[in-house]
């Protein structure tokens, strides 16, 4: 645990220096320490920033720790491009460790509350957040996490949407910043011929989801079976990611809820690719 915390802090500090991010001269707790505290919370404390702060302070990892409210304000003030840069950093590692250039795309639901508490939910309050969880055959209320991961399970891109947003529509939200001649596989929901043609022509990327029975672009039998086999790997990846999430993510605002989701994904990615 100690080695992992030190490694996480070193990675964050080096990254912030690389992008030229500088703290205000009056800050008593650096941005690297703030992000490290948030990552440790996601790794060991189910996203509980208070428990993470107390642990790091008591064991001498961080000498000056901000109060709970001040820490939350500092964390939320970190620019979006910093978090986006962490995802790009993970993507670069994923590309280097993926010689076959194989990637997988899928989504999983993340409820913000139990269905019985929907009327009392203060974070989200619109019917668009009610979605259908096909694996459990039940409705949920919250967000959908759409992920593009490498074959080894390292997150490359993430898109958050409302619960009723379809996987088919989410394809248009990904940038697909992948190496040329890459292969992207998904389930039947991702049969969007327009996107397939566009990626092939503009980015030389082979978007090849599992075909529907009535598809006009069916594969040969052996090739189709190979795609189904590769596609199953994302289920085990999602299972590993969801183990990092607590049963309930505590958040007061929708921004805080979404930020914690991102922290869990990035922390998992760092652990899977480096640690």
Residue 88 in any domain: the answer is no
Residue 61 sits in which domain range?
2-78
The pTM of this model reads 0.92
Lowest-pLDDT range, 96-105, 119-128, 232-241? 232-241
Whether the pLDDT of residue 92 is over 90: the answer is yes
Whether the pLDDT of residue 194 is over 90: the answer is yes
| 168 and 244 fall within a common domain | yes
Residue 144 in any domain: the answer is yes
pLDDT in tens, 26-78: 889 999 999 999 999 999 999 999 999 999 999 999 999 999 999 999 999 99
| 52 and 112 fall within a common domain | no
CA–CA distance from 241 to each of 159, 174, 213, 222 (Å)?
Answer: 15, 20, 31, 30
| 202 and 105 fall within a common domain | yes
pLDDT in tens, 93-122: 999 999 999 999 999 999 999 999 999 999
Whether the pLDDT of residue 275 is over 80: the answer is no
Which residue among 44, 78, 112 closes a domain? 78
Residue 91 in any domain: the answer is no
Which residue among 45, 78, 111 closes a domain? 78
Give the mean pLDDT of 11-35: 93
Whether the pLDDT of residue 273 is over 80: the answer is yes
Within its chain, how far is the Cα of 24 from the centroid?
A: 29
Higher-pLDDT residue of 1, 146: 146
> What pLDDT was estimated at residue 174?
96
Give the mean pLDDT of 8-20: 93
Pick the closest to residue 162 from 125, 189, 117 (CA basis).
Answer: 125
pLDDT in tens, 197-226: 999 999 999 999 999 888 889 888 888 888
| 73 and 159 fall within a common domain | no
- Give the Cα separation of 268 and 87 in Å (integer): 11
Domain count, the chain: 2
Going by pLDDT thresholds of 50, 70 and 90, the confidence category of residue 237 is confident
Residue 263 in any domain: the answer is no
Pick the closest to residue 115 from 99, 131, 102 (CA basis).
Answer: 131
- Give the Cα separation of 241 and 250 in Å (integer): 18
- Output the average pLDDT for the chain: 93
Beta strands, E only, the chain: 102-113, 130-133, 138-150, 155-162, 183-185, 206-207
Long-range contacts of 217-224 (CB under 8 A, 24+ apart): 217/193
| 45 and 180 fall within a common domain | no
> Structure tokens of 246?
């607590």
Give the mean pLDDT of 230-237: 85
Residue 136: CB atoms within 10 A of its CB come to 9
- Give the Cα separation of 254 and 121 in Å (integer): 11
């Amino acid at each position: 645990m100690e080695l992992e915390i030190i490694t996480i802090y070193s990675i964050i500090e080096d990254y912030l220096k690389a992008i030229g991010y500088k703290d205000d001269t009056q800050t008593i707790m650096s941005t690297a320490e703030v992000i490290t505290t948030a990552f440790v919370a996601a790794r060991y404390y189910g996203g509980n920033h208070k428990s993470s702060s107390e642990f790091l302070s008591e064991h001498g990892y961080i000498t000056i720790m901000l109060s709970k409210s001040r820490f939350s304000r500092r964390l939320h003030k970190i620019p979006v491009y910093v978090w986006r840069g962490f995802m790009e950093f993970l993507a670069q590692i994923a590309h280097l460790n993926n010689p076959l250039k194989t990637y997988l795309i899928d989504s999983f639901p993340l409820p913000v509350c139990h269905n019985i508490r929907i009327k009392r939910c203060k974070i989200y309050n619109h019917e668009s957040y009610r979605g259908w969880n096909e694996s459990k055959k039940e409705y949920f209320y919250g967000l959908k996490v759409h992920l593009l991961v490498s074959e080894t399970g390292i997150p490359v891109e993430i898109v958050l949407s409302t619960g009723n947003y379809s996987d088919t529509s989410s394809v248009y939200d990904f940038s697909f910043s992948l190496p040329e001649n890459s292969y992207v596989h998904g389930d039947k929901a991702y049969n969007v011929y327009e996107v397939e043609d566009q990626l092939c022509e503009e980015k030389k990327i082979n978007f090849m989801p599992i075909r529907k029975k009535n598809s006009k672009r069916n594969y040969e039998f052996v090739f189709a079976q190979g795609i189904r086999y590769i596609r199953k790997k994302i289920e085990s990846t999602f299972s590993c990611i969801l183990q990092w999430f607590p049963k309930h993510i505590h958040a007061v605002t929708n921004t805080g809820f979404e930020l914690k989701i991102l922290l869990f994904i990035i922390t998992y990615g760092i652990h899977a690719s480096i640690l």
